[in-house]
Chain A
């Protein structure tokens, strides 16, 4: 295999500066003793409330974060729009993770998560009784931006020939939007505008996904496409299994913990949806045996989408329940302090909105 010897030389080693960068990043993570929250060393433009750090690389920001202590960043993760720490969540935590993603797919995945996080926040805000008009405006604005960014990434991936990756992102985002849409239904008119934006994003993403699937369906029967279909079916099957276990687990806990009719209902609906997902997966397997790899891939993706939606609707319901519980506890403790709450949140979030908008959040060129 002389030819492979040649190619070894051709490919060469990892670029020196990238190797050093990854090493520094790993080292920072070791020193923080928390490998799950890896700090990034990538030079991203830090346009944020922390704009005084602008000329510094993100590594410097991380040193500051570690000086502050991981606790701030952790506490910020739990914050909601309107909380003081929400700025840390948006401008440090989320941007650090973003800087960790090099590939287009990695970036698209994270932008999807960011849009989802904003939707989760809205539901949690309602549950916590903290939804003011300005926090709502902030979240709506952020959601719209991230959702657009995801769509741009999907289009870019498609253009670059990564059709299956683009379809995966679109499919996941669509299932998430649908799960959130269902949850928002019960909040009635409170979040009308967001529901509208969500609906618009959903139909655009669904359209993009359908176009991508048409391209995949027409794919020829190459070993590469066979492997892709097999891989997708396996991934869907694993996801369905883990969702089934998750739902069983939740159901067991229903009897023991806080009883919520909404949660019980969500679990019941999720189980029904999962049965549907299993049927679709069986169809995908049949298509695979028939050698129709493109169709098998698309069906496996559909099955996964249904399972994702099922699982997410329960996950969101759990989060809402937790916030509502926290809110009840707070109410008991501060029975007389509630009146000024909305105004306080309005001021903080208006400031954040102004700063975040003004500094072009989530629009870093990377």
Chain B
């Protein structure tokens, strides 16, 4: 029995919504906006499913989310770290005042802040979403080689920042 587009779509929501939300959060640094982006990405994907066929729905969802984020993240002001920690704290679901976790959160966010938005995009896709360079290339529309070069440059930049 073949899977209907509706079944495919809902199962893609159940399987990937968390991961896409996480991806969006790291890119826009806002819980509310990340939720909106998840919804928008899925809606656009559903609209597409009405007219066309999607080979790899996971990659497609990331591609749509990425396109939605690109304009948005470029326009945004530098992130307020305190606000971010407050929000990140809430997202982490931690109720205890755990100073160690808080310090780690601050460390990572500080590190990410020094990256340019496009570098952050690559780092998030590689290390948060666990995509390989080939898949990243597919999602961002760049060449796999280009992605590898930029990724290693961004990783080095981030590593230096953590080792300061």
Interface residues of A (CB under 8 A from B): 1, 3-8, 10-15, 18-19, 22-23, 25-27, 29-30, 35-36, 38, 100-106, 160-165, 168, 222-225, 227-228, 230-232, 234-235
Contacts and interface: CB of A to CB of B under 8 A. Distances in A.
A8 B43 CA distance: 25
8 contacts: A7-B108, A14-B34, A26-B10, A26-B13, A101-B36, A103-B33, A164-B75, A224-B78
Given A4-B108, A35-B43, A102-B32, A19 B18 contact: yes
A26 B42 contact: yes
B36 A102 contact: yes
A14 B83 contact: no
A318 B52 CA distance: 33
Interface string B122-135: 01000110000000
B93 A12 contact: yes
Contacts of B22: 8, 11, 13-14
A227 B116 CA distance: 7
A3 B39 contact: no
A3 B108 contact: yes
Given A30-B6, A231-B74, A22 B108 contact: no
B123 A161 contact: no
B62 interface: no
B43 A26 contact: yes
A294 B23 CA distance: 29
Interface in B36-52: 36, 38-39, 42-44, 46-47, 50
Interface residues of B, number: 53
Contact of A3 (B50, B104, B113): B104
B120 to A, nearest CB: 10
Contacts of A222: 78
Interface in B124-164: 127-128, 155, 158, 162
Given A12-B91, A30-B6, A3 B42 contact: no
Given A36-B47, A165-B76, A168-B75, A30 B9 contact: yes
B115 to A, nearest CB: 8
Interface string B10-38: 10011001100110011000101111101
B13 A231 contact: no
Contact of B127 (A1, A23, A29, A164): A1
Given A8-B128, A12-B92, A13-B22, A223 B108 contact: no
Contact of A230 (B13, B74, B123): B74
A46 B108 CA distance: 42
A5 B75 CA distance: 28
A228 B36 contact: no
A62 to B, nearest CB: 15
Given A8-B128, A11-B88, A165 B18 contact: no
Contacts of B107: 3
Contacts of B117: 227
Given A26-B13, A26-B43, A102-B33, A10 B77 contact: no
Nearest to A13: B18
B35 A18 contact: yes
A160 B43 contact: no
B25 to A, nearest CB: 6
